[in-house]
Amino acid sequence: MNEAIYKQRRDQLIAMMDDGVAVLSTARLQTRSNDTEYPFRPNSDFYYLTGFTEDNTVLLLSKKEGEEKTVLFVQEKVPEMELWTGKRLGVDAAKACFSVDEIFSIAEYEAQLKELLKEQSLIYFDLFSDDVVYTDLKAAAKTMMHTRGVARSPRTFSDITKLTQQMRLIKSDEEIALIREALAITGKAHHHAMKASHPEQMEYQLQAEYEYIFKKEGAYSDAYTTIIAGGNNANTLHYITNDHALKEGDLVLVDAGCEYGFYASDITRTYPVSGTFSPEQKELYNMVLDVQLKIIDAIKPQGSKKELQRLSERLLTEGMVELGILEGDVASLIEEKKHKQYYPHGIGHWLGIDVHDPCPYSDENGDEILFAEGMVLTIEPGIYLPADDENIPEKYRGIGIRIEDDIVVTKEGYENLSKGIAKTVDEIETACC
């Protein structure tokens, strides 16, 4: 995306602000051990507003009585450090890249902040971040409060993410294109791994097949820690140890997606280790797949996630009663939450720069936000049947199935962005060959 898009976002954010100063910091390098760091990834809101990927940078937006100002603080160019860590953009080059009013070295942040806070009473910042930049912000506000000649000083603080996450709800065409590319790579990885899986293979070895394709095809990284859950391990929803051998006759549940251009994909497929579903596995799989297809087909503008959740619970409960996993009246089972022991999670979540995009589900009045064109969400019904649960038919014990796709709401309904990834029994068995 080009700088014009990021400037447009900054302008939109300033328009949403009351008079005040907004400060957004990107992440800093985090120590992994001793003098080595984790791979750097910028703070999502900061990246959304700047497209800048260097660490230790700050964006400041000021608004007062119709006057607006944007200021960016960046790392200086220090040749001695660049020898070890690579080139920095630096202040001079940044002035040619960013459509902001002023650019300073990050070393000037503390001094410039005090000037920019003068006669401002409201500060927006990330309330949930522990970045030291925000500690400096508090100290500067306190200094202003005790500075002679300053009539107004910051006394009110507001969470800036309340605004940025609202902005991030609707994805632009450019954002959706990046998600499509992430999904194209993720699809290649799933198809490659389906063919590569075999009995006695270690789960971490299958994980390596996914991550190989992610890197080979140009993805920034995986979007989250890949879940490779063979057999009964699939009944641990966030199973990430991935250290067991895959067994003949078992299913393997794989939740894997990559990040491309800092936008995530999130796909779950469940397939047979040996390449062929057993009759019992096929029964359960087709039940979950039928539920997923019906839920996806219900997505439309002005619909809601709560409606999809209720529909998923009813359809899965009906399926479990039909297969003898639950017994009783469907409505009563749902009211008593009996289905929750086998379907404990939600039907999906927002997707974007973060795999669990932290956009709101309710407005400030507590009313649910309805679907609108450009929203992207996952749909992922599942059924989880522990091996030691004697209340379910023995033939189904130890099976966990989840099927997940990434959906964009359109003007008329929806588009399944991941429809090209094998999902039916026939498609999966063919991909496994």
Q: Do the beta carbons of residue 376 and residue 407 sit within 8 Å?
A: yes
CB-hemisphere CA count at 13 Å for 82? 10
- For residue 363, indicate whether it is catalytic: no
Catalytic residue among 6, 224, 285, 384: 384
- The C-alpha atoms of residue 376 and residue 379 are separated, in whole angstroms, by 10
Catalytic residue among 41, 192, 198, 356: 356
- The C-alpha atoms of residue 38 and residue 23 are separated, in whole angstroms, by 25
- The C-alpha atoms of residue 395 and residue 407 are separated, in whole angstroms, by 33
Catalytic residue among 174, 238, 297, 336: 238
Sign of CA dihedral 295, 300, 301, 307: negative
Residue in the structure block whose two tokens are 């209340």: 391
- For residue 339, indicate whether it is catalytic: no
Catalytic residue among 45, 222, 380, 405: 380
CB-hemisphere CA count at 13 Å for 390? 0
Sign of CA dihedral 102, 107, 109, 114: negative
Report how far Cα 279 is from the mean position of its chain's Cα atoms.
Answer: 35
126: its two tokens: 């990330």
Catalytic residue among 314, 345, 373, 427: 345
Catalytic residue among 175, 203, 222, 266: 266
- For residue 380, indicate whether it is catalytic: yes
- For residue 266, indicate whether it is catalytic: yes
- The C-alpha atoms of residue 421 and residue 129 are separated, in whole angstroms, by 37
Q: Do the beta carbons of residue 405 and residue 186 sit within 8 Å?
A: no
- For residue 356, indicate whether it is catalytic: yes
Catalytic residue among 357, 404, 405, 406: 404
Q: Do the beta carbons of residue 242 and residue 226 sit within 8 Å?
A: yes
- For residue 200, indicate whether it is catalytic: no
Residue 333 DSSP class: H
Q: Do the beta carbons of residue 51 and residue 6 sit within 8 Å?
A: yes
Catalytic residue among 131, 220, 402, 406: 402
Catalytic residue among 126, 269, 349, 414: 349
- For residue 243, indicate whether it is catalytic: no
- For residue 402, indicate whether it is catalytic: yes
Q: Give the residue ranges of DSSP H helices in 27-146.
A: 44-50, 79-85, 90-97, 109-117, 132-145
Backbone angles phi, psi at 301, to 5 degrees: -55, 145
Catalytic residue among 175, 222, 255, 406: 255
Active site residues: 35, 238, 255, 266, 345, 349, 356, 380, 384, 402, 404
